[in-house]
A and B are shown apart, each in its own frame.
Chain A
């Protein structure tokens, strides 16, 4: 027997504890069941693509920080890779290693935030969230040591990185890797097998493989569906082909798979960090790049595997000191297009959970 009630509209957001920024969902509910959902974007639109057109090539780097603000380094990296491709700049060996180290640190930090806020959305009253933030603090400390800020790093430069590693950086990182590994195990004890979490997340919000591929999903959302697609392996940028690591994948593409993929990716990142710390050579950290880069007219697209997915920058140059056009491929936005299909039929609580399992950052969605 189906009991039907009169559907009503519940407006979730733009200001709501679980919308991870200013995102609005217009959900039509039948009792507790979501029958329709209309995502509304644009509350955090700052026109970053347009702003990029009136800044010099290096002046755009601080802007890219503000896209996915929990993963600034990977945004920086994607942008500088695009400009380097455009201008044909080579990067010194040491700088490549530093880029890999910082990117992987950033991936761990961003996944910690995603996992923590996902578990917080599942209702585990702030405890896992704060544990994750406690571990993230270690990484943030290292970034602070490296580039003087804790969130918006602006660390990458065209042709290298802004400064060399301080002397105390690598010892601290070496100490951090085993610490983090043991902590990941500990947090797996906390909630990996928790019956309530399994019941809440397993089989909930399934994203079918075909849909995921056809909408252009990427990152843990795609890999959660069992697609082995990681740009670090599929199209190795920087020097990722030198490292040994696996691509964790999920089984059926539900919320739990996405959560597990993130946790496993943190382990893989630690593996990469371990290797990079061993291999890092001495040398220059910045190529011979002029203050004002003037790439030849043309266009280039570069992408990296960010924590949320494929971060891409399409930079068009007209030969001047500023990009003619700078398009940003934001993984969160692409992933979010699957939101409605995944949520319809589930309950309000699942809506929050499924949305949380994407781990989007509104700064990136709205740009």
Chain B
């Protein structure tokens, strides 16, 4: 090190670290303190509305990972009955393309993010696991439910 400036640079650095020592820390102690996540959170899970779904399988075709498995049978009055609808969230990359592709707005990303499981098999969601009645849907690509969700907490809004 050439002390061209006689150590002024080092002294400046020390003042910055000291200022940061006295600054409020931004860390959130996760399990006790929680931040509200974005309204558009793409949780690693899908939420499905049974009423709106027509079984067109556009989602299954769009999925880049091919994790959506859907089996339909012809029902009454020119419609299809969804017999099987399975999503292997273990392979899901949460890209949200299926939600965008759904022409009937029957599929939602999930708002939940604590979805760790002990076994791989438990990651495969079947029809009843995804029903919108039991799950909180996220506003990803569904701006109409955006207002029902709490506003995201931003770091920039927090006091120093």
Contact = CB atoms under 8 A, between A and B. Distances in A.
Interface of A: 55-56, 58-63, 127, 131, 134, 137-138, 141-142, 144-149, 152, 154, 157, 162-164, 166, 168, 172, 175-176, 179, 186-187, 189-200, 291
Is chain B's interface secondary structure helix, strand, loop, or mixed overall? loop
B141 interface: yes
B49 interface: no
A163 B141 contact: yes
Nearest to A59: B64
Contact of A138 (B96, B141, B155): B155
Interface of B: 1-5, 7-10, 12-13, 15-17, 19-20, 26, 37-42, 58, 62-64, 93-97, 100-101, 109, 138, 140-141, 143, 146, 151-152, 154-157
Given A198-B1, A198-B2, A148 B42 contact: yes
Contacts of A142: 154
Per CB-CB distance, the 4 closest pairs between chain A and chain B, nearest first, are A193-B9, A199-B1, A59-B64, A148-B40
Contacts of B42: 147-149
A262 to B, nearest CB: 18
B64 A63 contact: yes
A291 B146 CA distance: 24
A175 B95 CA distance: 29
A119 to B, nearest CB: 11
A61 B5 contact: no
26 contacts: A56-B64, A62-B97, A134-B26, A138-B156, A144-B41, A144-B152, A145-B38, A148-B38, A148-B40, A149-B94, A152-B95, A154-B95, A163-B140, A166-B39, A186-B16, A189-B15, A190-B17, A193-B12, A194-B9, A194-B10, A195-B4, A196-B1, A196-B10, A197-B9, A198-B9, A291-B58
A196 to B, nearest CB: 5
A322 B4 CA distance: 60
A141 B1 contact: no
A83 to B, nearest CB: 15
A202 to B, nearest CB: 9
Nearest to A180: B156
A62 B63 CA distance: 10
Contact of A148 (B3, B8, B109, B143): B109
Contacts of A152: 93-95
A253 B140 CA distance: 44
Contact of B152 (A145, A175, A199, A200): A145
Nearest to A291: B101
A62 B7 contact: no
Nearest to A163: B141
Contact of A166 (B2, B7, B16, B146): B146
Contacts of A154: 95-97
Given A145-B154, A146-B40, A192-B9, 17 more contacts: A56-B62, A56-B64, A59-B63, A62-B95, A152-B94, A152-B95, A154-B95, A166-B39, A172-B157, A191-B9, A191-B13, A193-B8, A193-B9, A195-B4, A195-B10, A197-B9, A200-B1
A55 B155 contact: no
A196 B3 CA distance: 9
Contacts of A172: 154, 156-157
B7 to A, nearest CB: 6
A169 to B, nearest CB: 10
A195 B3 contact: yes
Contacts of B62: 56, 58-59, 291
A250 B138 CA distance: 46
A188 to B, nearest CB: 9
Given A61-B95, A127-B17, A199 B2 contact: yes
Contact of B37 (A144, A189, A197): A144
Q: Residue among B8, B15, B96 with the most chain A CB within 10 A? A: B96
A333 to B, nearest CB: 24
A162 B100 contact: yes
Contacts of A193: 5, 8-9, 12
Contacts of B96: 148, 154, 162
A193 B143 CA distance: 48
Contacts of B95: 61-62, 152, 154
A231 to B, nearest CB: 27
A291 B156 CA distance: 37
A33 B143 CA distance: 59
Contacts of B1: 195-196, 198-200
Contact of A145 (B40, B58, B93, B138): B40
Given A138-B156, A144-B152, A55 B5 contact: no
